[in-house]
Amino acid sequence: MKRYMIFLLIFILLISIGCQTINGKSPLEKVLVFKGENAGYASLNSKDGSLLVNYSDLKGNKGIYWYKDKKIINRIPNVMDGSVSPNGDYYSFYNKSENMLYIFKENGQLMNKFNIEGFTSGSTWSYDSKYIYWDEYGEKYIYRIDIFTGTKELILESKRIYNSPVAINNPDILYLLERISPNDSDSDSNIVKYDLKNNKIEKVILPPIKDLFIFDSYSISPNGKIAVFPDEHSGNMYVIDIMKNKIIDTIMMPDPSHPQKYSWESDSSYFIFNVTGQEIDKYTIPKH
């Protein structure tokens, strides 16, 4: 009888762990699984459903793959931070050895290239697909590039540390991470909203979460209503309705997974992200 009870308790525990991993509201759906390579940031092309995936292998080689229906249709070696524009007409990637950011039309024709000094936390497309934002030089400067004219514009200079820009459908709004300790690049962070019209920075108020620690990973939905971020302490990924200041889902992520970037469907219904560095998963926003 004791042995039976032990087996029963182990079974219940395993079920409980499995439920915590994907949560009951909106389970994660595996989109791509990698073996022998690490999947990095995946960028979703909403126009045709293809994916641009940043990868690295066990030997340290990097590059980007295009996938359509789970099959590789193109690849470019020795580049990083590849992403697709929201309208699907352009894509970009960063060549670290050259400090160059390249912009291409979807047919592979080179449109423009830009010298990027001190490239740090990555870049984000504006939702009209006209600009790319990025932080550089110690994460205290935010720049914007016009991909058609080649104009490089400094839009934020600060003594504080701001990084990881995220654009939404509103062209006047940019989200950023702000280090709470301004001189510590490893500090906990706030999510802030930056109004480009009046240069006003406003902290995003989040529901009370015990011992919350946001470091370098978050996202905001294209409609500006949902915030997503993993808590570096608990391992949970929180899905927040920032209009209602309400947690709508909590996902226990597989250790040691901490997603670095997210790519949204244009209607804000779901996003994709990397899990454990070995797979790309899809998460659908639950009704709330």
For position 4, what pLDDT does the model report? 43
Residue 140 carries which side chain, given as an amino acid letter? K
Alpha-carbon distance of 37 to 60, in angstroms, equals: 9
Mean pLDDT of the chain: 83
pLDDT higher than 80, residue 70: yes
Dump pLDDT digits (tens) for 72-92: 999 999 888 899 999 999 999
For position 18, what pLDDT does the model report? 37
Tokens of 168: 């939404």
Average pLDDT rounded to a whole number, residues 234-251: 91
Beta bridge partners, 23, equal none
The domains of the chain, with CATH numbers, are: 27-284 (2.130.10.10)
Dump pLDDT digits (tens) for 210-219: 878 887 789 9
Alpha-carbon distance of 248 to 95, in angstroms, equals: 38
For position 274, what pLDDT does the model report? 84
Which is more confident, 189 or 117?
Answer: 189
For position 259, what pLDDT does the model report? 66
User: CB within 8 A of 268, min separation 6: which ones?
Assistant: 221, 222, 223, 225, 226, 285
Dump pLDDT digits (tens) for 246-265: 999 998 876 555 666 899 99
pLDDT higher than 70, residue 5: no
Compute φ and ψ for 129, nearest 5 degrees.
60, 25
Dump pLDDT digits (tens) for 13-22: 333 333 334 4
User: CB within 8 A of 169, min separation 6: which ones?
Assistant: 127, 222, 223, 224
Alpha-carbon distance of 221 to 213, in angstroms, equals: 21
Quote the pTM value. Answer: 0.85
Beta bridge partners, 167, equal 174
Q: What percent of the chain has pLDDT over 90?
A: 43
Task: Kindly report which listed range (122-126, 167-171, 220-224) carries the lowest average pLDDT score.
Answer: 122-126
Model confidence band, residue 11 (pLDDT cutoffs 50, 70, 90):
very low
Dump pLDDT digits (tens) for 36-55: 677 778 999 988 999 999 88
